[in-house]
Amino acid sequence: MRYYTAEELAHVTGGILNKVEDVKVCKLFPPLLADEETLALALNEEEIANLERTKAKIAIVPLGAAPENITSIEVERPRLAMMKLLTMFYVPPTTGDGIHPTAVVYPTAKLGQNVSLGPNVVVAEGAEIGDNTRILANAYIGENTKIGKNGLIHAGVNIGKNTIIGDRVVINHGASIGADGFSFVTETPDNIENAKKNSGEITETNKNQVVFKIPSLGGVKIGDDVEIGANSCIDKGTIEYTTIGNQTKIDNLVQVGHNCKIGNACMIVSQAGVAGSCVIGDRVVIAGQAGMADHISIGSDSIIMAQAGVSKSFPEKSIIVGAPAVPRKEFIRQLQTMKKAEQLIKKFQAYEKVLNADVENNEG
């Protein structure tokens, strides 16, 4: 276990050190869980108040919030500082050195220098693993798949054939990369085609409908510095690549359909679903449980809010809200209209008795 001095912590975070005494720490906790060997993380008002009751001798705080009784480090961007600190204290998973005896590496596969393969890992025909990449237990690397340098593939990951993965990519537990896309065709027009043809009405049905699978012959191409969360799925393209750009981060339980093109530095949050053949620009944020229809495009620097149901394309720098999704300004206007309508109804109800009485008098 390594200990860090206050000076080292201030240097790493780029913060301002207010030193009361010499301290050394080996762990991070919120103030109320901290002891004398802990750096207390007081990054919001509630945690700053808790410093009065902490056992810690050093805390990291936002600019201007330095306490008088303990050593502190003031930082301009608390969340960025927290990232730097957690990176310092992070202990990577144990993978062991070299190839575990139970790993299976096919003769035509190629392994770079310092590759680590855990128990029961399978590296199929023609696959290539770059230098210093670590693959944990029970992972499967498909035929002709190429994984770059310094990657980390967690336990239980399945990577299909013809996948290309860049450098420094992290794929978390149970993710599926390169499974067949959800792509089918019916022998005769199905209900969706029927409804589109008949202005939203289903006028014909075929009780003996036959559904044929469209095979996926393409692959998945993932850029550098990408992270993919646990149990997320990225399907391979039908005849081309499904692509994920550099620096994009995908949360747990996300579905990316076949043929999608997702840009650089995007953030896709848990339980979001991106249907097939969507095109997502750079630096797009897709919040939790948002869903996108197939064959639409979202321009760069857009934000799709949580649980939005996106059924059409939007230009760059859009903020997209609601189901069906609309631009944020239009969504607010709709809310304002509903509020005004509510007020008008209340006014009408207040005068309803008077109006009814006048009608009765005129009829009499």
Q: Which of 221-230, 276-285, 353-362 has the lowest mean pLDDT?
A: 353-362
From start to end of 224-311, where are the E strands?
227-228, 233-235, 241-244, 249-250, 255-256, 261-262, 267-268, 273-274, 279-280, 285-286, 291-292, 297-298, 303-304, 309-310
Tens of pLDDT, residues 219-264:
999 999 999 999 999 999 999 999 999 999 999 999 999 999 999 9
Tens of pLDDT, residues 169-222:
999 999 999 999 999 998 888 888 888 778 778 877 888 889 999 999 999 999
What is the C-alpha separation between 174 and 136, in angstroms, rounded? 11
**Active-site residue, 258 included:** yes
CATH topology assigned to domain 104-326: UDP N-Acetylglucosamine Acyltransferase; domain 1 (2.160.10)
The whole model's pTM is what? Answer: 0.82
Left if phi > 0, otherwise alpha if psi is -120 to 50, otherwise beta: which for 84?
Answer: alpha
- Is CATH 3.40.50.720 the right assignment for the domain spanning 4-89? no
Tens of pLDDT, residues 107-116:
999 999 999 9
308, HSE (Cβ side, Cα atoms, 13 Å): 26
What is the C-alpha separation between 221 and 276, in angstroms, rounded? 15
**Token pair in block for residue 179:** 């499974």
Q: What is the pLDDT of residue 331?
A: 76
State whether residue 220 is helix, strand or coil.
strand
pLDDT averaged over the chain? 92
Q: What is the pLDDT of residue 363?
A: 62
If you average pLDDT over residues 70-76, what whole number do you get?
A: 94
Q: Catalytic pick from 154, 173, 258, 295?
A: 258
